[in-house]
Chain A
Amino acid sequence: MLKNAFLTLLSLAIAIVGGGGSVWYALKVQDGVGAIRIGQWTAFPDIGTPSADPYSKARVAREGVLALGRAEGLSFVAERDTGGAELKRECTYTIEGGFPTARFWTLYAADQSLGVVETGKPRLAGLQSYGVVRQPDNSVIISAGHHPMPGNWLLTDGFGRMYFVLTFYDTPIASSTGLSDVSLPHIVKVGCDA
């Protein structure tokens, strides 16, 4: 009798802990269902729409996100450089390449919660396309790091993991057909502060 009760309890414990824990884990990892990867950049074009998958819906409800609409823009998040290493706030990176068609774009360095990195200085850890210097072929070279650099400088600060968030506003790539032949800039590690 006691053995039966123990086995029932064991089944229930596995069901509740396993079921709840797996949902918690699935919502925690950044790389979810419905992601589109272009180089190092990941976007969730369907997040926040009624056609999103149940995991995206749960994430939206849990985190209180109000996702950008199709007519507004599309956000890409990068968490690794071209070498496959995680982005670090203490490192210097070069973000280089062409940008797809959009009215304008913004780029900022983000912490784990995807909020902008606090620099403690008046300068924001962000750049936008109206304020960047371009190469003759219209591509853009951005240097991201702690120390001022010539050209386009994206200020970062602190230590630990970092993400780059690149958002295109009023862009044709936000509609699903435009995403197939889009190329995004590369993130190359230059060096790290010891």
Chain B
Amino acid sequence: MRNFYAAMRRLLHAILLGLLGAGIVHIAVLLLVPEFSERDAWSRLSMASDLYRMTRLDAEAGGAPVVKSVDPLFYATACRFDLGEGMVRIKAPGHVPFWSVSVYDRSGHNVYSFNDHTATGGVLDAVVLTPAQMIDVRKDLPEDLQGAIFVEAPIEEGIFVIRAFVPDDSWKPIVSRFFEQSSCELQDF
């Protein structure tokens, strides 16, 4: 009988130890998921296209949408950049009813966002750069960057996303053209 109790106590001990371990594993797995995910936005985009290449995120361009949860009344396009190679300039001439822009870091966190009310004349012209590059640019601002919006982001790799509102079907070609004319380039300085 005493043997039975001893065995039960050891079993209970093992189960409690297991539950404590489960707690530790839970926290460890939770913190490691963002590090090792191969399904995050960056990985999905890198499968679809290269750096500095605009890629449509909505399903309208054909094929399944690259990134989930895009409003069906919106078109979206994205490009990946690496500030380690230099600052990146995003331009999109033309007017649409509403556009908004978000800069994400490598793990898909929104670092900065703005919309067409922020831009001069509603035209999208933005430069993403690191604080160190910003200091260099401030010293001698080039003529053609005067009207641009500067987004200072303390990141290296990142994603730039443009979203544009499509109120109804008649706006589809106009918004599509807006995206076709958009560019995402490494800016020499």
Cβ of B167 to closest chain A Cβ, rounded Å = 5
B: number of interface residues (CB 8 Å): 61
Contacting residues, chain A, for B100 (C-beta < 8 A): 68-69, 71-73, 169-170
Let me know if A72 and B73 touch, CB within 8 A. no
A: number of interface residues (CB 8 Å): 58
B173 at the A/B interface (Cβ < 8 Å)?
no
Q: How distant is the Cα of A169 from the Cα of B163 in the complex, in angstroms?
A: 11
Q: Which of A11, A63, A106 contacts B68 (CB 8 A)?
A: A63
Q: Which of B13, B40, B111 contacts A64 (CB 8 A)?
A: B40
Q: How distant is the Cα of A93 from the Cα of B184 in the complex, in angstroms?
A: 44
Interface string of B96-134 (1 = CB under 8 A from A): 001011101101111111110110000000000000000
Let me know if A14 and B98 touch, CB within 8 A. no
- Name the segment of B15-23, B81-89, B137-145 touching the other chain: B15-23
Q: How distant is the Cα of A2 from the Cα of B7 in the complex, in angstroms?
A: 13
Among A10, A11, A50, A115: residue with most chain B CB under 10 A: A11
Q: Which of A15, A58, A72, A130 contacts B25 (CB 8 A)?
A: A15
Total number of residue pairs linking A and B with CB closer than 8 Å: 188
B28 at the A/B interface (Cβ < 8 Å)?
yes
Q: How distant is the Cα of A50 from the Cα of B158 in the complex, in angstroms?
A: 14
Q: Which of A26, A55, A61, A124 contacts B108 (CB 8 A)?
A: A61
Q: How distant is the Cα of A58 from the Cα of B33 in the complex, in angstroms?
A: 6
Interface string of B16-52 (1 = CB under 8 A from A): 0111111111101111011001011101100000000
A49 at the A/B interface (Cβ < 8 Å)?
yes
- Nearest first, the 4 closest Cβ-Cβ pairs linking A and B are A69-B113, A19-B25, A15-B21, A14-B18
- Which residue numbers of A lie inside 8 Å of B, CB to CB? 3, 7-8, 10-20, 22-23, 26-27, 48-50, 52, 54-55, 57-58, 60-73, 103-104, 106, 108, 113-116, 124-126, 128, 130-131, 165, 167, 169-170
